[in-house]
Amino acid sequence: MDFLIQQTDDAQDLPLPAYQSEMAAGLDLRANICKPVVIAPGDIALIPCGFRMALPPGFEGQVRPRSGLALRHGISIPNAPGTIDADYRGEIAVPLINLGKADFTVSRGDRIAQMVIARVEQIRFTIVNELPETPRASGGFGSTG
């Protein structure tokens, strides 16, 4: 399936988001920064990715952490997964959080996150006086074992 993408003027030297294997679910996103960004433990930095896109109605981009960065350095995304709505046209940027114990440096072109394109549905609510019963009922956190 084809989607529209546009590189920013300052990212012409960077690869576009790409799958790294034949059956990968996520497209790797790269850092579009002029100089390295150091993220101290506990800090968050917004890292631009050098592109804009136009998703068709009924789709979203889900931005997720890269498992290797999470495992080796404690780098994650504070709102994971982040949602990119189909009507957003600005540059894609990723907030990275350092949950590790040491400073982490992001350099230009580093693969910093992954984006999964997924179908979504919009719903309409119907206001009712009662909801259908289920065996779980109002059982919340930990209620199923």
Output the DSSP codes for 71-129: HHH-EE-TTSSEEE-TT--S--EEEEEE-SSS-EEE-TT-EEEEEEEEE---------S
CB 92 within 8 A of CB 49: yes
Q: Which of 37-41, 83-87, 141-145 has the lowest mean pLDDT?
A: 141-145
**Length of the chain as a residue count:** 145
List, in order of start, the domains of the chain with CATH numbers: 4-119 (2.70.40.10)
Q: Residue 107: its pLDDT value, please? A: 98
100 vs 135, more confident = 100
Tens digits of per-residue pLDDT, 97-124?
999 999 999 999 999 999 999 999 999 9
74 vs 140, more confident = 74
Give the C-alpha separation, 35 to 37, whole Å: 7
Average per-residue pLDDT in the chain?
95
| End-to-end alpha carbon distance in the chain | 41
Report yes or no on whether pTM surpasses 0.75.
yes
The band of 83, judged by pLDDT with boundaries at 50, 70 and 90, is very high
Checking if the pLDDT of 136 tops 90, the result is no
Q: Which residue is it, tokens 């990723």?
A: 94
Checking if the pLDDT of 143 tops 90, the result is no
For 45-49, what is the mean pLDDT? Answer: 98
Q: Residue 19: its pLDDT value, please? A: 96
The band of 24, judged by pLDDT with boundaries at 50, 70 and 90, is very high
